[in-house]
Amino acid sequence: MSGDTPLIQARDLSAVFDVSKPWLNRMLAMEQKRFLTAVDTVDFDIPKGKTFALVGESGSGKSTIGRMIVGLQKPTTGQVLIDGQNLFSITNEKQKLAMRRRIQMIFQSPYASLNPRWRVKHIIGEPVRAFNLLPSGEIDKRVEELLDQVGLAKSDGEKFPHEFSGGQRQRIAIARALASNPEFIVCDEPTSALDVSVQSQVLNLMKALQRELGLTYLFISHDLSVIRYMADQIGVLYLGRLVEVADRDTLFDNPRHPYTRMLMDAAPHIDAFGRTAEIVSGEIPDPINKPSGCSFHPRCELTADQCRRERPEVRVFGPEKARVACHLCTA
């Protein structure tokens, strides 16, 4: 593909879940089927070597987007293009495998994704075997190289996941993700379960690896300070919709959507565990019965009549081309 095509293109992505009760229950109670729109017409690009970050409160659809982008979940509508190729239209098994090698995912709790009965060297080497990347005689050497790349010792390969701390386990998960030589990694709250000091070490490692290996990231977090540190571009999600998309400095210098401003104004404070937590006012509405018009209007400080009636379309603002879905945004 030409250098101008973004490596990742999410086009009009939506995810609708059928959350109806079982048929018989519905018949007896005379209830309609119920649908939950977890992701609503989401659009973004990620250029090669860059980080696009998704920020939003719990339940805003971040993980669902992540799963669709790596191909784990089929979008209800819309497309995911990787290097210009539609991820969900690949039918050839060999091409599917080739595509899977290029995309990896890192989760919040690596413990769940690390087989507790396998030695770390086996865990890290598994993708190399699965994708048939090296002759078996060369795998151990590759694993040592990966351990070194994530700041672990050669001897750590002989241990089991439970022998490590949370931060070290996330390093193991990163090494495993790197084992297939991916170009693109979706990081879903990768440091949210870690102490602040460990968190910054892992974030630094991820940044260094990105520079070294030219990796492209979709970075998901509910924490604006983490997002600010990692992102080139930021998408702010509210109830499944991207309400604002802008490059990092534009977003932090001039947040245009009232929800983005609310997230930023929410004074960070230290919670009982010594971690910063954000206070956001108002409650997230029921995603099955979203408010009419702009779904943010019940929590918005500005709300006009139009906001209750009409869904705001995305408009482009300023020389920085910030994309904002708000009726009342003017500049």
Ligand X SMILES: Nc1ncnc2c1ncn2[C@@H]1O[C@H](COP(=O)(O)OP(=O)(O)O)[C@@H](O)[C@H]1O
Q: Does 58 bind ligand X (CB under 6 A)?
A: yes
Decide the pairing of beta strands 233-238 and 51-55.
Answer: parallel
Q: Does 289 bind ligand X (CB under 6 A)?
A: no
Residue nearest to Mg ion according to CB distances in the complex: 63
Among 8, 10, 13, 38, binds ligand X (CB under 6 A): 38
Q: Does 60 bind ligand X (CB under 6 A)?
A: yes
Cβ neighbour number for residue 200 with a 10 Å cutoff: 15
Give the shortest CB-246-to-Mg ion separation in angstroms. Answer: 22
Contact residues for Mg ion, defined by CB under 5 A: 62-63
105/176 Cα distance (integer angstroms): 10
Compute the half-sphere exposure of residue 146: CA atoms within 13 Å on the CB side of its CA: 28
Among 7, 36, 226, 307, binds ligand X (CB under 6 A): 36
187/62 Cα distance (integer angstroms): 11
Residue 121 or 241 with smaller CB distance to Mg ion: 241
Amino acid at 83: D
Q: Which two tokens stand for residue 295?
A: 């779904």
SS3 241: strand
Residue 59 or 166 with smaller CB distance to ligand X: 59
Residue 108, binding choice from Mg ion, ligand X, none, Cβ under 5 to 8 Å by partner class: none
**Torsion sign (Cα): 89, 95, 97, 102:** negative
Residue 19 or 97 with smaller CB distance to ligand X: 19
Residue 76 or 303 with smaller CB distance to ligand X: 76
Q: Which two tokens stand for residue 251?
A: 């977003």
Q: Does 56 bind ligand X (CB under 6 A)?
A: yes
Residue 59, binding choice from Mg ion, ligand X, none, Cβ under 5 to 8 Å by partner class: ligand X
Options 59-67, 88-96, 100-108, 267-275: segment touching ligand X (CB under 6 A): 59-67
Amino acid at 110: P
Closest by alpha carbon to 172, among 205, 200, 207, 135? 205
Strand order in 35-46's β-sheet?
A: 35-46, 8-18, 77-82, 85-86
Helix (H) or strand (E) holding 196: helix 196-213
Residue 56, binding choice from Mg ion, ligand X, none, Cβ under 5 to 8 Å by partner class: ligand X
Among 1, 12, 19, 155, binds ligand X (CB under 6 A): 19
Binding mask 247-286 for ligand X (x = CB under 6 A): ----------------------------------------
* Site residues (vs ligand X, CB under 6 A): 17, 19, 36, 38, 56, 58-64, 287
